[in-house]
Structure 1
Amino acid sequence: MIDARRGVLYPQRMPRFHRLPPPPEGEHLVAWFWVPEWDLPPGETSRQHVVAYPALNLVVESSGSIELVGATTAASHRDLTGSGWAVGALLRPAAVAALTDQPAALRDSATDVRAPELLAAVTEAMTDGADRHRERAVACVSRWLADRAGTPGDAALQANAMADLLMTDAEVRTAELAAARLAVSLRTLQRMAHRYVGLPPLAMIRRRRLQEAAQRLRDQPEVDLAALAAELGYADHAHLTGDFRTVLGMAPSGYRRDV
């Protein structure tokens, strides 16, 4: 299973934040749902830093928008002010195929999704004051995705297996090994990642390793960086530091001080 704790660089700075599993009809479409809710004093800003999973997200927001957010190549942040909420779905490849045929074009960007019926249903669930509002909002998004995607074909299910492998298996450190595990050619793996995620397989592997490294530094701040680099499959400490600087804009030692 994908570790749902990863991706948020400074968990202690988050507002109310929940991760929910998809209901049965959405299990092949969504890895999990993430639902932040915030109510900040006037003039206060909460900056949220994320090193996102190598995947696309569908996000319904209290501002009245729905966005399909592409995979990212660097850490990002968002400034929260006032009060609001969002209902986000970390999409599995089978859902991506129903929403866009060019995920690579959305890399480091987003596009609006016109679905007024979905926006209305999620907004009602999040604001009517009834119990289990988050679960009801998640159910709305799951039903909408299931209706749109239909029954996934073999290609979509194979792409799901690809994403699960690249995002979870710490022993898979090269695209060649991933292709062998999936019993496909390297070229087929590369085409699949481009078609369903918009990133090369190696970029997905490197993002998983970086998330693992960041989580270890949060959970075990005393860990030796050279030992951590070796454990995660980096050639040496310098390569781990290079990955941190490229994606997070800081060295591992700086991140460890911040958290």
Structure 2
Amino acid sequence: MLHPHEQAAFVDVNRRAPSPAVARFVQYYWHVRWNTPEPYETKVLTHPNVHLVFEAPAPLVYGVDRSLFARRLEGRGQVLGVKFRPGCFRPFTAEPVIGLADRRFPAADFFGPAVEEVSAAVLESGDLTAMVDLAERFLLPRLPAPDPVAEQVAAMVERVTADPVLFRVDQAAALLNVSVRTLQRLFAEYVGAGPKWVLRRARLHEAATRADQGVPIDWAALADDLGYCDQAHLTRDFTAVVGTPPAKYAHSRRARA
């Protein structure tokens, strides 16, 4: 979530770990509750994950958003999301996950009409633990058979995003002992975004995290740390996705502090 300190006054964000029974598929549950006196557009620098979101008026499945996710918040409200591990939504769908990218679908397309009733019950609850319990009890009998390739791909994503200085697809392929073509095919089939996007997004997350700390940053040094050829390259990359240069983004954080 971009500008987290700005939103903290009227947006409450929490996470819950999944139970061991669903942890093969689910990375975590996330909950957002808001109470804003005037409309506010929240923006999220997304990760390579598919989400099931219990929300009004109907639950949706969100594919990987390869740009910047934005949502208009008004009045009071809440949503509960299920963040699937990278690659691990593939067993829930008949098609490659790349077909979900940058799109949202009725959750009933994947989980049947009962998901709408469960979503209503989730949103009526004021207790996060109860909300997560409802979601888990719904998911458990609907879990597909384990897919060893999905597990392999999840581990691949975790490994190549753990170090943001890894920035070339051929480097990632060599690290994972696969060909570039194989890596591209697996990511399209299971993740819903190419390895180049995943590597780039990891670097942008690191840059945004540094900017949100509210301390002065040596942008040239950070660009070098993240594998950019120079500061201008980092600035172009960050601005293209976030909509503002990183130095300006960081300054706005310090100005509000």
When the two structures are superposed, what TM-score results if normalisation uses the length of structure 1?
A: 0.86
How many residues are matched? 246
Spell out, residue by residue over 1:38-82, the C-alpha distance to the aligned partner (whole angstroms, 9 max, x if none). 2334xx112211111122211111x13111111122223211112
Q: Distance in 2 between matches of 1:101 and 1:169?
A: 30
- The answer to whether residue 129 in structure 2 is matched with residue 135 in structure 1 is yes
Say what the alpha-carbon RMSD is for the aligned residues: 2.0
Match in the other structure for 1:120: 117
Match of residue 83 from structure 2: 90
One-letter code aligned to 2:12: R
After TM superposition, the structure 1 = structure 2 runs for residues 1-259 of structure 1, keeping only pairs within 5 Å, are 8-12=1-5, 13-14=7-8, 15-41=11-37, 44-61=38-55, 63-92=56-85, 93-99=87-93, 101-114=95-108, 115-129=112-126, 133-259=127-253
Name stretches of at least 5 consecutive residues in structure 2 with no aligned partner. Answer: none
- Superposed CA deviations along residues 143-170 of structure 1, whole A, max 9, x for unmatched, are 4444333331221111111221233233
Deviation at 1:25, TM superposition (A): 1.6
Equivalent residue letter for 1:21: A
Give the AA of the match of 2:17.
P
What is the identity, as a one-letter code, of the residue corresponding to 1:88? Answer: G
Q: What whole-Å deviation, never above 9, does each CA across 1:65-102 have from its counterpart, x for those lacking one?
A: 11111112222321111222111122112223313523
Runs of 4+ in structure 1 off by over 6 angstroms are none
The answer as to whether partners of 2:91 and 2:145 remain within 8 angstroms in 1 is no
AA at the equivalent of 2:115: L
Could you tell which deviates more after superposition, 109-118 or 84-93?
109-118
**Following the alignment from structure 1 to structure 2, what is the Cα–Cα distance between the partners of residues 37 and 144?**
22
Q: What percent of counterpart residues are identical?
A: 32
Q: 1:161 to 1:26 in 2, by over 3 A?
A: same
TM-score (ref. length: structure 2)? 0.87
